[in-house]
């Protein structure tokens, strides 16, 4: 069952426990399909808020949506860190997820394209070296990929694109950078859940999402970090094994700037210690 964020108010057919937080059941049905090339099958948008300091970049918030309309929004309360390489993974213990109706997904993909997301300069602003908050955007459609990192004062298309994205976030959640001004983009969504601060529940949510997309590396890593934080070595080890199978080595130019060059050895070192004898040597 999926929670649909739509242009009418969503109705829940029964109370939903937190374990199914994002797969909240919305009774609203999708409208009749309309022939369109939008969104393309490879559509993907990821927007991250980063906290930067000298030699360190940590993800604080992330919004991701794909062609299926499934949105995942998380706030990272902490990081799990490899002591040897200092590579870190965000722990999104405050999480919510929801599925857009087809028309909403189509409109978002088209708006971003029309605002010129593929024409953006890869670096916006010049304040990353001084630390503080910056933004990172990853967009993919029709085989084209764009990664943008912004810091300091920005204007023009990047500010407009963040304004569009904000209309698809949970109520009260905004991505903001210096230079953004003007009225917010009106949101037509209803029934979007608020993030719930519960690491165990967030792990359950990720595992539910993985039933639909079992090879999604982003979901596998999100669940893995939470399993490490909650001390569930068995689940974390299983997720690590699944990531090893699904993982595609990064190309010479990483698809996301500053993306950690993760390896199985790094992730093994992030595993929580065993709680007792481990005959399997895990």
Structure tokens at 75: 């706030």
Confidence (pLDDT) at 152 = 74
Domain-embedded: residue 278: no
pLDDT number for residue 262: 85
Q: Flag whether 277 is in a domain.
A: no
Inside any domain, residue 256: yes
Residue 275 lies in a domain: no
Can you tell me the distance from the alpha carbon of 167 to that of 189, in angstroms, rounded to the nearest whole number? Answer: 8
Rounded Cα distance, 135 and 119, in Å: 17
pLDDT of residue 27: 24
Query: Phi and psi (nearest 5°) for 141?
Result: -165, 140
Whole-angstrom distance, CA of residue 217 vs CA of residue 236: 14
Which structural domain, as residue segments, surrounds residue 201? 4-29+36-270
Q: At what angle do helices 217-230 and 199-212 cross, to 10 degrees?
A: 150
Q: How many domains does the chain have?
A: 1
What is the rounded CA–CA span in Å between residue 136 and residue 131?
A: 14
| pLDDT attached to residue 136 | 92
Under-50 pLDDT residues of the chain? 1-35, 251-259, 277, 279-282
pLDDT at residue number 188: 77
Cα–Cα distance for residue pair 59/235, rounded to 1 Å: 23
pLDDT at 21: 40
* Residue 167 covered by a domain: yes
How many C-beta neighbours within 10 Å does residue 3 have?
25
Name the strand (E) or helix (H) holding 239.
helix 233-246
Residue 24 belongs to a domain: yes
Query: Is 228 within the bounds of a domain?
Result: yes
% pLDDT > 70, the chain: 75
């Amino acid at each position: 069952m999926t929670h649909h964020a739509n242009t009418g108010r969503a109705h829940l057919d029964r109370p939903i426990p937190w374990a199914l937080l994002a797969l909240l059941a919305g009774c609203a049905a999708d409208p009749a399909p309309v022939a369109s090339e939008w969104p393309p099958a490879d559509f993907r948008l990821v927007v991250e808020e980063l906290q930067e300091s000298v030699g360190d970049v940590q993800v604080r918030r992330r919004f991701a949506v794909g062609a299926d309309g499934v949105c995942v929004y998380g706030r990272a309360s902490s990081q799990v860190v490899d002591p040897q390489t200092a590579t870190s993974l965000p722990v999104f213990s405050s999480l919510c997820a929801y599925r857009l109706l087809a028309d909403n997904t189509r409109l978002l993909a088209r708006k971003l394209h029309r605002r010129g997301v593929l024409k953006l300069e890869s670096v916006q602003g010049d304040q990353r070296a001084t630390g503080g908050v910056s933004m990172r955007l990853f967009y993919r459609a029709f085989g084209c990929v764009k990664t943008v990192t912004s810091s300091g004062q920005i204007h023009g298309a990047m500010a407009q694109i963040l304004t569009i994205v904000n209309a698809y976030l949970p109520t009260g959640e905004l991505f903001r950078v210096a230079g953004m001004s003007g009225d917010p983009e009106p949101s037509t969504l209803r029934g979007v859940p608020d993030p719930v601060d519960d690491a165990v529940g967030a792990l359950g949510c990720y595992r539910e999402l993985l039933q639909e997309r079992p090879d999604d590396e982003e979901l596998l890593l999100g669940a893995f970090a939470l399993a490490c934080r909650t001390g569930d070595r068995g689940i974390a080890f299983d997720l690590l094994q699944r990531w090893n199978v699904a993982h595609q080595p990064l190309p010479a130019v990483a698809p996301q700037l500053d993306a950690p060059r993760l390896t199985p050895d790094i992730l093994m070192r992030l595993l929580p210690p065993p709680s007792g004898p481990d005959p399997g040597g895990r």
